[in-house]
Amino acid sequence: MSAVIKYYEGIGSVAVIGNYMPRRCGIATFTTDLVEGLSAEAPDIFNWAAAMNDQPGGYAYPEKVRFEINQNKLSDYSTASQFLNISQTDIVSVQHEYGIFGGPAGSHLLTLLGNLRMPVVTTLHTVLKDPAPEYRDVMCKLSDLSDKLVVMSRKAADFLKDIYGVPEDKIVFIHHGIPDTPFIDPSFNKDKFGVEGKKVLLTFGLLSPNKGIETVLQALPAVIQKHPDVVYMVLGATHPHILKSQGDAYRIMLQQLVHKLGIGEHVIFQNRFVEIKELCEFLGIADIYITPYLDEAQITSGTLAYAMGTGKAVISTPYWYATEMLAEDRGRIVPFRDPDAMAEQITALLANDVDRHAMRKKAYLFSRDAVWKEVSRKYLQVFREVQLNRIRSPRPRHSYVANIKAITHFELPEIKLDHLKAFTDDTGILQHATYTIPDRIHGYCTDDNARALLVAAMGQKYLPTNGWGLDSLCGHYLGFLLYAFNAEKGRFRNFMTYSRQWTEEVGSEDAHGRALWSLGKAVAFLHNPGHLATSTTLFSKALRAVENFHSPRAIAFSLVGIHAYLEKFSGDSDVRRIRDLLADRLFNQFMNHATDDWPWLENALNYANGKLAQALLLSGRAMQRHDMVNMGLLSLKWLIAVQTEEGHLVPIGSNGWFERGGHRARFDQQPIETNAMVEACAVAFDVTRDKAWFDHAVMCFNWFLGHNDLNLPLYDPKTGGCRDGLMADGINQNEGAESSLAWLLSLMTLQKLYADEVLKQPRASKI
């Protein structure tokens, strides 16, 4: 097993979309065999299928089918994408044939794929040479939505490049899968089928008028003259869709032709659909396999692949797939609708055992790469490749239903506090979520209750007071911070279980700094006398500890809170003294470490980076320190440059951060990082009145709305919350407190900028 793990290590679940047995068609057989092949090759991966239904009741599917889609019901496609995302599927493999999906040219499928967050690998069972406009459009969009396109012939790859403009590196060739059968003499099992001593010609597959079986029947009289022991077996039921629309007219026509030609003793119709085991037995008795299709436009053929894989001598008309597969004497090609040429080749092969067996061997050996074990391995390699590519080089997902709209002017979403309230109980706000449901296992923390107090305090300052319940919420969050403060230690505790037990006596410096940040804002914004008194008293008690802090982020959080406090109590000289002390300490850390190419105070960019620049800007302006303001602007410009690509924000990912001289982590991108950048840019605009900073703030904010690496919005308009992060394979669908509060703080920051109409009323900086 160790030799195989490298093909799929890291993949936990693969979903295959297509028709599925017991539905009777080639796609159903292929999808079923692929799922079973993947399961056999990688048993520790959860391989399952989403089946397309062409009838309301569906089929009696096996357990591998976990989801069913009514092909003509558009809403089912959206529901399917939601199911796939929720089930945390790693890879989706699509078996594409235009006719099995609903909408014009099968366009309903685009709705499903456009909403998926994981990589998509699409296997193309049809590639049209001269597509009508709607078919070309669907194929081009399908290419956009797929990470890789799998083809089963080289000609299909050429069509994709030359006709549809698909990049070569997006196309992968993998053989049509076949069962692994032994190379046996055709006479071995003929007695089992009542054809002992006969020379057997075989055609199998679902019957339809384009199969060209009449060409073989018309050739038989000439063959019988030289080989009176020949028998032609036609194996397969009429295609269900043909049977539904036309009845069994084609089979009846063939039977009438047999009667007219007087060859009834040499033709056997097996009017049934056979499973793979029995099919291999039928193939085993054939001396020659024939595919007499009437049209060249056949880019793949499972029946031909199966026949070659069982070591058959093959005669075929020159459709695309046959011409490619039967090259180099692996089979014989005859013109379309030419009974005489067909008879000549059949007669010649039956008369020459040496040529026939040499052809059989070439076909069999050529097909060893097509057995399902090898094909499954190749699919797993492709799946792993696209998964790694998505992590290394994320690309936007496209929606052909609705385009994401970014905020460019006064069009901000309305503030919605439903999610905030749903996560708040009589203790405070819960930390985490399972999707949109509060997760009580992880309890509460000071960090999130501090942010929640910020939201509630800012809301009282900038939102209409009626109906929001903000005063009550402030009381909950202030009560939590009051209880979190350990008076003996002079520090805040951070983590509390759901049973209201603290897990530590002293929390981190960062948690203490965030609490001071929120308390300072509360002092500046609140009017409720009790809340104001509590905030002021708690702020003063907690401030004493920060004189000994050296964590730059704890200092930055504290400074932002201090400046808010001083807006209310500007005459508090002791707070101003501590402000000056902390600001100098933070500034000196920058001065001692920053260089021209790395204007930062550490050897890594990690979390809350924007908050450090914001603290320098606020302090520099208040302290009349041009050098401090300049350092804040320089570092913030650098942060914008490092985190902007193609006009959108790319926050430093938390999965590895960004070490100096190393590669920056692209994911996981966190809403809290975006919030820090929004607030820092807003302060930079307030300090400089340079409109570029306003535009930067808007750009950062638009990350929440989908102007990001994956073109996926993180804001949830239904709940008013925000998803927990942008991952390499899509969105973390959980809506925890930290992320939702980061969204609300960012939204309020932008609303304040717009409400003040700062663009229309510039004012000079205090410096």
Q: How many CB atoms are located within 10 Å of the residue 548 CB?
A: 7
Whether 30 contacts 177, CB under 8 Å = yes
Q: What is the rounded average pLDDT of the residues 498-518? A: 96
Residues linked to residue 202 through DSSP beta bridges, in sequence order:
233, 289
Q: Which of 655, 650, 676 is nearest to 665 (CA)?
A: 655
| pLDDT tens sequence across 709-737 | 888 889 998 899 999 999 887 788 899 99
Can you give the pLDDT at residue 396? 60
Mean of pLDDT values over 515-523: 96
Preceding peptide of 22 cis, ω within 30°: yes
Contact 331, 318 (CB under 8 A): no
Burial 227-243 (b: 16+ CB within 10 A, else e): beebbbbbbbbbbeebb
| pLDDT mean over 32-37 | 96
What pLDDT, on a 0 to 100 scale, did the predictor assign at position 466? 52
Higher pLDDT, 208 or 225: 225
Q: Are 2-177+373-392 and 418-755 in the same CATH fold?
A: no
CA angle 191, 193, 197 (to 5 degrees): 45
Residues 115 and 389: their CA atoms lie apart, in Å, by 19
541 pLDDT more than 50: yes
Give the dihedral sign, CA 178/184/187/193: negative
Place of tokens 């899509």: 730
- Please give the radius of gyration of the chain, using alpha carbons only, rounded to the nearest integer: 35
CA distance 459 to 240: 63
Cβ–Cβ under 8 Å, residues 387 and 119: yes
Whole-number pLDDT of residue 406: 62
Q: How confident is the model at residue 411 (pLDDT cuts 50, 70, 90)?
A: low
Of 127-136, 245-254, 272-281, which range is least confident?
A: 272-281
Burial class (CB in 10 A: 0-12, 13-18, 19+), 641: exposed
Helix axes 470-484, 509-525, angle to 10 degrees: 140
**β-pair partners for 507:** none
User: Which comes out higher in pLDDT, residue 192 or 120?
Assistant: 120
For residue 433, which phi and psi values (nearest 5 degrees)? -135, 150
Q: Which tokens is 390 given?
A: 């998505």
- Taking the C-alpha atoms of residue 565 and residue 567, their distance in angstroms, rounded to an integer, is 5
List strand residue ranges (DSSP E) for 536-622, in order: 604-605
CB 621 within 8 A of CB 629: yes
For 2-177+373-392, CATH number out of 3.40.718.10, 3.50.50.60, 3.20.20.70, 3.40.50.2000 equals 3.40.50.2000
CB atoms within 10 A of CB 246: 13
pLDDT digits (tens, 9 = 90+) for 585-630: 999 999 999 999 999 999 999 999 999 999 999 999 999 999 999 9
Residues 6+ apart with CB under 8 A from 242: 206, 207, 208, 209, 250
Tokens linked to 414: 């309305």
Which residue's structure tokens are 């077996």? 233
765: confidence class by pLDDT, cuts 50, 70, 90: very low
Range 437-443, long-range pairs (CB < 8 A, 24+ positions): 439/734, 439/736, 440/498, 441/498, 442/498, 443/495, 443/496, 443/497, 443/498, 443/499
- In this prediction, residue 587 carries a pLDDT of 97
User: Do 304 and 202 meet the contact criterion of CB atoms below 8 Å apart?
Assistant: no
418-755 CATH pick, 3.40.50.2000, 3.30.2040.10, 1.50.10.10, 1.10.486.10: 1.50.10.10
3-state helix, strand, coil in the chain (%, to 5): 50, 15, 35
| Domains in the chain: boundaries | 2-177+373-392, 186-367, 418-755
Asked if residue 173 lies in contact with residue 157, where contact means CB atoms within 8 angstroms, the answer is yes
Beta bridge partners of 559: none
Provide the β-strand partners of residue 669: 726
Looking at residue 576, its amino acid is R
Q: What is d(CA 397, CA 597) in angstroms, rounded to the nearest whole number?
A: 34
231-271 confidence digits (pLDDT tens) = 999 998 888 878 877 888 899 999 999 999 999 999 999 98
Range in 63-72, 405-414, 562-571, 681-690 the model is least confident about: 405-414
Tokens at 124, concatenated: 């193309």
pLDDT band at residue 405, thresholds of 50, 70 and 90?
low
The answer to whether the Cα torsion of 203, 207, 211, 213 is positive or negative is: positive
Q: How confident is the model over 731-751, as a mean pLDDT?
A: 94
What is the rounded end-to-end Cα distance, in angstroms, of the chain? 69
pLDDT at 384 > cutoff 50? yes
Q: What burial letters (b/e) apply to 301-332, b meaning 16+ CB within 10 Å? A: bbbbbbbbbbbbbbbbbebbbbbbbbeeebbb
CB 391 within 8 A of CB 52: no
What CATH class is the domain 186-367?
Answer: alpha beta
% of the chain with per-residue pLDDT over 90: 77
Q: Stretch 307-330: mean pLDDT, rounded?
A: 96
Residue partners of 399: CB distance under 8 A and separation at least 6: 114, 115, 711
3-class DSSP state of 624: coil
